[in-house]
Amino acid sequence: MARVTIYSSGAHYGPLKPAAPLRYDMRNVTNPPRQLRGNMDGRSKKLRDHLMNDKDFLALLETIQNDILREIERLQKLECGKEVQVQVGVGADKEVDTTHEIQQSREIPEQECSKDADSHDKEYLPSDGEDTGDETSTNESQYGLDNENEPTVVVNCFCHLGRHRSASMVEELARLKWPAGTDIEVIHRDIDKDRRSSGKQKKPTLSLSRTKHVVSISESTHTAKHAREKQNSYTAWGILSL
């Protein structure tokens, strides 16, 4: 079983600490209209529906989903390699060829271990004059970044304040279909912070905490790619009807 912890946060309040291995800057996605942002956040279906019609949002949703699936596969291979290695250590009469096979099973392709520095997986880069809010940044490891009992994929989606674009992305990711036994945990670090009060908050807001999405083999999978294709079909129909 794999565990996926997905954080939303705002660059205004400083980076996630420790930094998540998979990080995505949502600030290039167009912000929803002011009338939606005023009294809604990423937990609102109406706000998310607006963003799900944005091609940049959908493309990034698909990218993040694929990155998470690759990371789950990589961690499971590593975990499997460790288990086989322990079994080999128990028996004193194991053949040398078996050890060679174990070493091969633990080799990870270079493209899966490296990330493009210019891609969505990058550090926080606050804009000029932007308050980084370092004094409010806390160590999120106490909220479940580390778990020795199961492989964990940690993801961080961030925008300016962590209330609309990044929170919507995290909520939509949690609603996708994932491999059987995957444990999805969503944490909105800054969604309830008030910008005017320096963003002080005692603890992050948990949403869909430790929700498991179990998918049977015969069940049809709803993916970000399907959502984008559906949105494109609506656009094409609108053009033809003109």
Distance, CA of 55 to CA of 39 (rounded, Å)? 24
Mean per-residue pLDDT over the chain, rounded = 72
pLDDT of residue 16: 95
DSSP codes, 91-142 = -TT--HHHHHHHHHHT---HHHH---TTSS-----PPTT----GGG--BGGG
Total tally of structural domains belonging to the chain: 1
**Identity of residue 212:** K
Give the least confident one: 119-123, 154-158, 232-236.
Answer: 119-123
Full residue range of the structural domain in which residue 153 is found: 3-240
Provide the sign of the torsion angle of the four alpha carbons 173, 174, 177, 178, taken in this order.
positive
> Does residue 104 have a pLDDT over 60?
no
| Residue percentage of the chain with pLDDT more than 90 | 45
Q: Please, are residues 186 and 206 in contact by the beta-carbon 8 Å criterion?
A: yes
Distance, CA of 3 to CA of 74 (rounded, Å)? 13
* φ, ψ of residue 152 in degrees (nearest 5): -125, 130
Higher pLDDT, 55 or 118: 55
132-150 tens-digit pLDDT: 444 444 455 444 444 556 7
> Does residue 182 have a pLDDT over 70?
yes
Nearest CA-CA partner of 177 in 234, 216, 148, 120: 216
pLDDT of residue 148: 56
Higher pLDDT, 192 or 113: 192
Q: How confident is the model at residue 229 (pLDDT cuts 50, 70, 90)?
A: low
105-127 tens-digit pLDDT: 434 444 443 344 344 444 444 44
83-101 tens-digit pLDDT: 666 565 555 444 434 444 4
| pTM of the full structure | 0.63
Q: How confident is the model at residue 201 (pLDDT cuts 50, 70, 90)?
A: low
> Does residue 26 have a pLDDT over 50?
yes
Give the least confident one: 2-6, 74-78, 185-189.
Answer: 74-78
In the predicted model, what is the mean pLDDT of residues 38-66?
96
pLDDT of residue 86: 57
Q: How confident is the model at residue 1 (pLDDT cuts 50, 70, 90)?
A: confident
